[in-house]
Structure 1
C-alpha cells in the first residue's frame, strides 16, 4: 500500500466529485441569476405549441433533447416536445428577456 499515492488519488477524486456536484448545483436557477418563468408550457412528445412574441430578436433553449424550437416568422416560435424532462426557453424581445419553463411528459 502506497499512502502518498492513495492520498493523492483521494484528493483527485474529491476534486472531481466536488466539481460535478458544483456543476449540478450551478445549473439550477438562483434568485440572483434567473427570473421566474413567465409561463410553464406542458407538452407531450411530438406535440407542439406556437408562441407569438412581438418584437422577437433572439431565442435560447436549454436542452434540445427535451424540446425543439423553430422561428416560424412574424414573431411566432414553435415549441415541440422531443423527450421527457424539463428545460428553459429564453426569449428576447426588444430590451426584455422572458423565461418559459417547458415540461415534456
Structure 2
C-alpha cells in the first residue's frame, strides 16, 4: 500500500510515470523500508494503465460490496439483553485493570 501511495503522491506532484528511484526516494525520506521487488511489481502492473480508470473500476467494485447494515440488528435479536452487555464490560474492565500490575501511570 505504501508503494502505491508513494506512486500516487509522485503522480499528483506532476510526474507522469514515477520511476522506481523516485518511489524509493519518497519512501526513504519518511524512514520506511523499501522492497525493490514490490516496486517493480507495482510498476509492471500499472504500466500502460490510467490511474483514473483503475480508480473508477475499483470504485464500481466497492459499490457492489454489501455494507453490513443487518449485523447490528441480528446481534440485538440474538441476545441483546442489557445485563449481558454490562457483565461483559465489567469483565473487560477487570482484565484491563490487571494489565498495569499494580502500578499507575503517575505512581
| TM-score interval, normalised by the smaller of the two chains | under 0.3
TM-score by length of 2: 0.20
Question: Which structure is higher in RCO with an 8 Å CA cutoff and minimum separation 6?
Answer: 1
Greater Rg over alpha carbons, structure: 2
With normalisation by structure 1, the TM-score equals 0.20
| Structure showing the higher strand proportion among its residues | 1
Comparing both structures, which one devotes a greater share of its residues to helix? 2
